[in-house]
Amino acid sequence: MSIVTCSGSRPIVVCGQYERLLEEAAAVMENGLSPASITANLETHFVGQRVVYYPSLTSTMDVARRETEQGAAEGTVVIADEQTAGKGRLKRIWLSPRGNIALSIILYPSLVYLPSLIMLASLAVVHSIEAVTGLKSVIKWPNDVLINGRKVCGILVESEVKGGRVDYALIGIGVNVNLRLSDFPETAPMATSLSDELGREVSCIDVTRRLLVEVERLYLVLPSGESIYEEWRDRLVTLGRRVRVSLGKTTYEGIAESVAEDGSLLLRRPDGSLTKIVAGDVTLRDYM
Ligand code: BTN
């Protein structure tokens, strides 16, 4: 086990044998999130066995990318109490105040598994939320997790492919765990949090630990040939619905008929044609 914490902006590396140091480091962490609390007896082989923790950083994606440049081990998790420049899909801002989960997981998959990362990440979130809180959630294509029609989690997958090989892939996951929507009235109509759904605080540590176990389990399923595509497809609230898909200035409307195994959305247009959409922002028309 290798744990990196940081004091101010200077990371401190703490390895397994320095348990006392680890406990001291854990004691100063805010938010109850500490590397030790995440990795202690974590039932994974590699995901979360190395944790890089910051009380505050710009974006876990940026720090994770820097970690890959220094040869970070597969499964390294970069986690922060707070992000000051959290990144969403389609160049949006992701709000990351304390009390919520903001993490990135470093993976080095084969190229063939790259499209599955979005699927496995959203499934891992759905499974973890249900395991820890009992709340049922669904996936809105491509990878938003919703509870009662509102977004509780966003996922961002970034990767670098060079010469037909994946240099690295980063799964960024932001979960609204204890976000008080009343503090963010502008997002309140579209967003929710686990605590708002349950009417009580939820442990970020419990959700994080379960999430890491689920991510590893599903990641290890990929080479076995067992597909996670079917479960992801079946959990999509989008299919069969009237949707509007926007990407930049382009908008498509139609019925979300299906998804392909590469994760793209197959949209039946009013003129009967089928359009394959690889990225975009979906609005469920009957939720409006
Ligand atoms: C979205 O729904 O637009 C995706 C949001 C992804 C947010 C997470 S929080 C952890 C990681 N770091 C970031 O800056 N973004 C992702």
Q: What is the pLDDT of residues 38-96, one digit of tens each?
A: 999 999 999 999 999 999 999 999 999 999 999 999 999 999 999 999 999 988 899 89
Question: Angle formed by the axes of helices 204-221 and 116-133, to 10°?
Answer: 140
Q: 168 or 25: which carries more pLDDT confidence?
A: 168
Q: Relative to the CA of 58, which ligand 1 atom is closest?
A: 14
Are 174 and 129 contacting, i.e. CB atoms less than 8 angstroms apart?
no
Inform me whether the pLDDT recorded for 18 exceeds 70. Answer: no
Task: Please give the distance, rounded to the nearest whole angstrom, from the Cα atom of residue 87 to the centre of ligand 1.
Answer: 5
Residue 263 has pLDDT above 70, yes or no: yes
Per-residue pLDDT at 19: 41
The answer, yes or no, to whether any atom of ligand 1 lies below 6 A from the CB of 154, is yes
**1 has pLDDT over 80:** no
The residue among 12 and 120 whose pLDDT is bigger is: 120
Mean pLDDT within 162-178: 97
Query: Averaged over 164-189, what is the pLDDT?
Result: 91
Contact 97 CB / ligand 1 (< 6 Å):
no
Ligand 1 and 156: CB distance under 6 A: yes
Q: Whose CA is nearest to atom 11 of ligand 1?
A: 172
Q: Is the CB of 89 under 6 A from ligand 1?
A: yes
- Which segment of 75-79, 169-173, 189-193 scores lowest on mean pLDDT? 189-193
- Closest Cα to atom 16 of ligand 1: 172
Pocket of ligand 1 contains residue 143 by CB under 6 Å? no
Over residues 194-221, the pLDDT tens digits come to 999 999 999 999 999 999 999 999 999 9
0.85 cut: is pTM over it?
yes
Q: Is the CB of 129 under 6 A from ligand 1?
A: no
**pLDDT interval class at 185 (50, 70, 90):** confident
Q: What atom in ligand 1 is closest to the CA of residue 151?
A: 2
- Give residue 33 CA to ligand 1 midpoint distance, Å: 18
Q: What is the pLDDT of residue 182?
A: 86
CA distance 136 to 38: 24
Work out the mean pLDDT of the chain and round it to a whole number: 89
pLDDT score of 11 more than 70: no
How confident is the model at residue 91, as a pLDDT? Answer: 86
Question: Is residue 63 in contact with ligand 1, taking CB distance under 6 Å?
Answer: no
The atom number, within ligand 1, closest to the CA of 92 reads 3
**For residues 89 and 41, what is the distance between their CA atoms, to the nearest angstrom?**
33
Atom of ligand 1 lying closest to residue 174 CA: 9
pLDDT at 145: 98
CB of 281 shorter than 6 A to ligand 1: no
163: left (phi over 0), alpha (psi -120 to 50) or beta: left
The response to whether residue 142 sits with its C-beta less than 6 Å from ligand 1 reads no
**CA 239–ligand 1 middle distance (angstroms):** 24
Nearest to 138 by CA among 210, 228, 103, 148: 148
Is 143's pLDDT higher than 50? yes
Q: How far is CA 288 from CA 151, 190, 242, 283, in A?
A: 14, 10, 11, 8
Lowest-pLDDT choice from 5-9, 10-14, 66-70, 237-241: 10-14
In percent, the amount of the chain with pLDDT more than 70 equals 88
Distance in Å, CA 271 to ligand 1 centroid: 36
Residue 125 · residue 145 · CB < 8 Å: yes
The ligand 1 atom nearest the CA atom of 60: 12
pLDDT confidence of residue 286: 66
If you average pLDDT over residues 1-13, what whole number do you get?
46
